[in-house]
Structure 1
Amino acid sequence: MRCGREIAGRRKGSHRAWLVLAHRWVGLVIAGFLLVAGLTGALLAWNDELEAWLSPELFLATPPVPDAPAQDPLILRERVQLAYPEALAVHAPLTTQPGRTLTFNLYPLADAATGIEAELAVDQVFVDPHDGRILGARRWGDLTQGLKNLMPFIYRLHYQLALGVVGGRVFGVISLLWTLDCFVGLCLSLPARGGKTAKSGQAGGKSWLARWRTSWGVRWGAGSYKVNFDLHRAGGLWAWAMLFVLAWSAVAFNLSEVYDPVMKSVFAHQQDGAGLRPQSVPELVPAIGWQEAREIGRRLMAEQARVQGYTVLREDALSYEPSIGVYRYGVVSSRDVGDRWGATSLKFDAGKGELKNLWLPTGVASGDTLRTWLTSLHTAAVGGMVAGLPMKLFICAMGLAVALLSGTGVVIWRKKRQGRRHAASAR
C-alpha cells in the first residue's frame, strides 16, 4: 500500500513539474506582450475621455445657445462627401451626444485604370453637429499627424503592436497561449491532496481547502521575494475569471479561425451575413439614397422588433457597404448590454430595400450572447455612459493587474534562475 502511494505521489510530482515548466516558459514568452497589452488596455478604458482631452478641437462642440438643435446627420454626411470627392463617406452616426462632434468615416475609391484603391490622406472627418462646419480630419492611427492620433496609435499597439495584420496574428497566438496558461496557473495554485503540513508531518493535518486558502493571501511581512511571489499567485487567483475573459475574448478578436470552430462546436450562432457575397465591381453609388435608406431601416427594424420581442432604444448609425451593395442600419436595443454603441443591426439590399439579415447581440443564439458579453467586458462597454464608469475603472485596474502579473512572473523566474546558478556554482 505504501509503495503504491509513493509511486502515485511521484507521478503527481512529475505532472506538476511539467506544469511548472510549461507555466514558466509560456509566461516568459507572453510576458512582454501582456505588459504592453495591460498598460495600453488601462489607457483605452478611458479612450473617449482621453481623445477629447488631447484633441478638443476635433471632439468637442459647443452649441451656440443652450439646447440648440443638431442638424440632420445625413445632411452633414452629404457635406462631407462634397468636401472629399476622392473618397466615399460610407458611415453616418444617427445620434448626437451633447457637446460632442460627429465622426464620419471615408472609404477609399479604386483607380479606374488599375483597380487599386487609392491611399487616403485622411479617413475620419469631424463635423460640428450644430452649424455643420468641418472642424478637422485625420488618418486614423497615423502618429505622424500628431497627438490627435495618439489614442488610435495606442489602440494599434494594444491590438497588433502597431505592426498591421502580422502583429494582429502574433497577438492572437499570444492570447491563445495566455488562455491555456490561465488553466495551468490555476492548477499550480491548488495544493496536493493529502499533503503534509509543516507542524504535524502527517497527511491530512489541514483540510485541502485550508491549505489552498493560503494561496489567496500575501505575506506582507515576509521578504521581498515572498511578497512578489504571493502577489503573482494571489493576484492571479483573485482576478482569474476576468483574466480568462480578457484572454479568450482577445482570441475572438485576433484569431477567429481558432475561436469560431471551438465555440460553434459547443454553442449555437446566428448566420451573420449568410448569402451576402462580394460583387465583382463595388457599387459606389447605391440606387436607394441615404434618406430613403434610413426610413427603410427604421421600418424593417420596427417590424423585426415586434416579431422578435425587443425594444429599440435609439438609433446608432447607418453605413453602406459598396463591396456587397447593402446598407447596415444599427440601433441600441433592449438586447444590447450597453448603450455606448448599438450591436443590434440589420442589413438590406441597397437596390431593392429587401431585408438580408438581422443580428441580435443577445437572446437568440447562446454563442452570440456569450461573445457579446465577452467582448463587451473586454472593451468596458457594459452599462451606459454614467453607469459604465465603474466598469471603466474595473477594466483599467485589470489592465494594470495584467501588467503586474507579467512583471512579477519575470521576477520569480529571474530569482529562481539565480538560485539554480548559485547552486550549480557551489557544486
Structure 2
Amino acid sequence: MRPTLVRLHRWFGLVMAGFLVMAGVTGSLLAWNDELEALVSPELFVASPAGPGPALDPLELRQRVQAAFAQAFVPRAPLQIEPGRTLAFRLRALPPPGGGTAPELADDQVFINPWTGRIQGQRKWGDIGQGTKNLMPFVLRLHDSLALDIVGSYLLGVVALLWTLDCFVGAWLTLPARASRNGGPSWLRRWRPAWGLRWRAGAHKLNFDLHRAGGLWPWAMLFVLAWSSVAFNLREVYEPVMRTLFTFQQDDAPRRSGPPLLQPPVNWRQARDIGRARLDQAAQANGFAVLGEYMLIYDPRTGLYGYYARTSRDVSERWGITHVGIDASTGEMTGLRLPTGAASGDTVHTWLTTLHMAAVGGTAMQVFVSLMGLAVAMLSITGVLVWWKKRQAAARRRSTAMATAPNRTAPSSAP
C-alpha cells in the first residue's frame, strides 16, 4: 500500500504545486485585506467625520447612491459603520426597459462618507486595469479563481479536493513502519523523528524534513484550509459530503417568479424595522444576544430581503451572518438562520470558512493565517525539490547501471 500512496502523494503534489504556491502567497496577503485596502487606496476607504455629530442613516446613504447611479440598482445597504471608514455600496446593472441583456457597468462599487454623505470614489471591482485601487480585489480574484471567473473557480476547486485528499495521504506516509518482531523503540518514539528538523545533515535532508515536519505540525489548519477551499469553489462535492455527515438549517424558499420586483410593497426602512423586531424576538426565544446590525440585502428576482446582524451565535469578529428572511410583498418572516448552535453542519461550516478568512481571533489569527499561507507555498516548493532530487538520483543510478553492465551485443571472436 505504501508505494501506491507514495506515487499518489508525488503526483498530487506535482499537479497542485504551482496552484498552491499562488494560493498560499495571495492568501497570506488576504489575511490583511482590510488593512491593505485602506493602505493602498485611502481615498476610497478612509473617511473623516465632518464634525462631532452622528453618522447619517445607512439607508439614507443608499438612497443617495441609488439617485446618483439611476442606471443601476443598489441591492445592499451596509448597516455597520466603523470609525474613520467609508461605506461601500455595490451596483448591479439593470436590463433595458424593453428587455434584453443588462449592459456592463463602468464601475460597480461606490464609496461614500457616512458623516458627510459625499461620494469619495468608485471602481469596477477586480479590474486591475484601473490601477492600484483594484490591487487587493485582483489578488482576491487570483486567490479564488486565477482571475478566470467560473472556469478558474472550478479548476481551483478540483485542486482543493486533491489537496484535501493529500492531507491524509501525506500524514499517512509520515507514520513509522511496523516494528520488527524483536521489539525495539515504541511506535511514538519511532514517529518522533518525522516531527523534527536535521539542521546539520545537509541541504537535501533539511529540505525533506521541512516538507515532512512542515506538513505535520500545522496539519489540522492545513486540512481546514483545504476543505474550506472546496466549500468555496466546489460546492457540488462539498455539500453532499457535509449533508451526509451533518444536519443543516433550511434555506429561505423563493416567493415569486417573473420579472424583477424593483419597487416592492415593503420598502427598505420597513424591512429593516421588521428584521430588527423579528431578530429581537428570536434572540429572546433562543437565548442569544444581538450585538449589532451588519447588512440589509434585497433580491428583486425572488422578492426577498435578507436582514443580517452580528449576534452571540456568530463566530466572525468582522461581520454578522445571523439572518432573517423577509418577504418584500407581505412583510412576513420567511426564515431564521443562525451561524452556530442550530444545526451541526452550519456550525462546522461557519467555523471552517471563518478560520479560512482569519475573521476570528484578532491580529494573532491574521498573523497565523498569513504564516500558514507562506507555509503552504513552502510545502509545495520543498515537495517539488524532493521529487527533483530523487529523480536526479534515479537517473544517475540508471546511467551507472548502463555503464557497468556487460556488453551483451558485442560480436564473438572469429573461429
Instruction: Please show how residues 19-98 of structure 1 align to structure 2 within 5 Å.
Output: 19-65=5-51, 67-98=52-83
Aligned residues: 401
Secondary structure at the aligned position of 1:406 is classed as: helix
Q: Does structure 1 residue 400 correspond to structure 2 residue 370?
A: no
Instruction: Please show how residues 322-333 of structure 1 align to structure 2 within 5 Å.
Output: 322-333=300-311
Q: Which string of whole-angstrom CA distances, capped at 9 and with x for unpartnered residues, describes residues 87-131 of structure 1?
A: 011111112100000111112111233431221111110001111
C-alpha deviation, 1:277, in angstroms: 5.4
Could you tell me which residue of structure 2 aligns to residue 415 of structure 1? Answer: 389
Could you tell me which residue of structure 2 aligns to residue 282 of structure 1? Answer: 260
C-alpha deviation, 1:327, in angstroms: 0.8
The counterpart of 2:196, out of the listed 212, 217, 223, is 217
Query: What CA distance in whole angstroms lies between the structure 1 residues aligned with 2:257 and 2:398?
Result: 67
AA aligned to 1:264 is R
AA aligned to 1:227 is L
The counterpart of 1:185, out of the listed 170, 175, 181, is 170
C-alpha deviation, 1:242, in angstroms: 0.3
Secondary structure at the aligned position of 2:121 is classed as: strand
| Mean CA deviation greater in 280-289 or 213-222 | 280-289
Query: What CA distance in whole angstroms lies between the structure 2 residues aligned with 1:390 and 1:153?
Result: 25
The counterpart of 2:124, out of the listed 132, 139, 156, is 139
Could you tell me which residue of structure 2 aligns to residue 4 of structure 1? Answer: none
C-alpha deviation, 1:278, in angstroms: 6.0
C-alpha deviation, 1:64, in angstroms: 2.6
Q: TM-score, normalised by structure 1?
A: 0.92
Give the aligned CA root-mean-square deviation in angstroms. Answer: 1.1
Could you tell me which residue of structure 2 aligns to residue 340 of structure 1? Answer: 318
C-alpha deviation, 1:207, in angstroms: 1.2
AA aligned to 2:121 is G
Query: What CA distance in whole angstroms lies between the structure 2 residues aligned with 1:116 and 1:204?
Result: 74
Could you tell me which residue of structure 2 aligns to residue 8 of structure 1? Answer: none
Query: What CA distance in whole angstroms lies between the structure 2 residues aligned with 1:146 and 1:287?
Result: 41
Q: Does structure 1 residue 424 correspond to structure 2 residue 398?
A: yes
Q: 1:203–1:179: structure 2 CA closer, same or farther, 3 Å change rule? A: farther
Could you tell me which residue of structure 1 aligns to residue 207 of structure 2? Answer: 228
Q: Which string of whole-angstrom CA distances, capped at 9 and with x for unpartnered residues, describes residues 51-95 of structure 1?
A: 000000000011233x43111111111100010001011111112
C-alpha deviation, 1:391, in angstroms: 0.7
Unaligned runs of 5+ in 1: 1-14, 196-201
Query: What CA distance in whole angstroms lies between the structure 2 residues aligned with 1:146 and 1:69?
Result: 33
Q: Which string of whole-angstrom CA distances, capped at 9 and with x for unpartnered residues, describes residues 188-216 of structure 1?
A: 00001214xxxxxx743211110100000
| Mean CA deviation greater in 112-121 or 143-152 | 112-121
Q: Which string of whole-angstrom CA distances, capped at 9 and with x for unpartnered residues, describes residues 108-167 of structure 1?
A: 111233431221111110001111000011111011111110100000000110000000
| Mean CA deviation greater in 100-109 or 284-293 | 284-293
Query: What CA distance in whole angstroms lies between the structure 2 residues aligned with 1:301 and 1:237?
Result: 43
Secondary structure at the aligned position of 1:327 is classed as: strand
Unaligned runs of 5+ in 2: 402-415
Contact 2:95 2:101 in 1 (8 A): yes
Instruction: Please show how residues 145-224 of structure 1 align to structure 2 within 5 Å.
Output: 145-195=130-180, 203-224=182-203
Query: What CA distance in whole angstroms lies between the structure 1 residues aligned with 2:6 and 2:389?
Result: 15
Q: Which string of whole-angstrom CA distances, capped at 9 and with x for unpartnered residues, describes residues 11-63 of structure 1?
A: xxxx1100100000011000110000000000000000000000000000112
Q: Which string of whole-angstrom CA distances, capped at 9 and with x for unpartnered residues, describes residues 344-380 of structure 1?
A: 0111101110011111000000010000000000000
The counterpart of 2:229, out of the listed 238, 242, 250, is 250
C-alpha deviation, 1:260, in angstroms: 0.6
Q: Matched residues, percent identical?
A: 58
Secondary structure at the aligned position of 1:265 is classed as: helix
AA aligned to 1:34 is L
Secondary structure at the aligned position of 1:235 is classed as: helix
Query: What CA distance in whole angstroms lies between the structure 2 residues aligned with 1:326 and 1:120?
Result: 24
AA aligned to 1:296 is I
Could you tell me which residue of structure 2 aligns to residue 306 of structure 1? Answer: 284
Query: What CA distance in whole angstroms lies between the structure 2 residues aligned with 1:58 and 1:337?
Result: 28
AA aligned to 2:200 is G
Query: What CA distance in whole angstroms lies between the structure 2 residues aligned with 1:68 and 1:158?
Result: 40
Query: What CA distance in whole angstroms lies between the structure 1 residues aligned with 2:116 and 2:142?
Result: 36
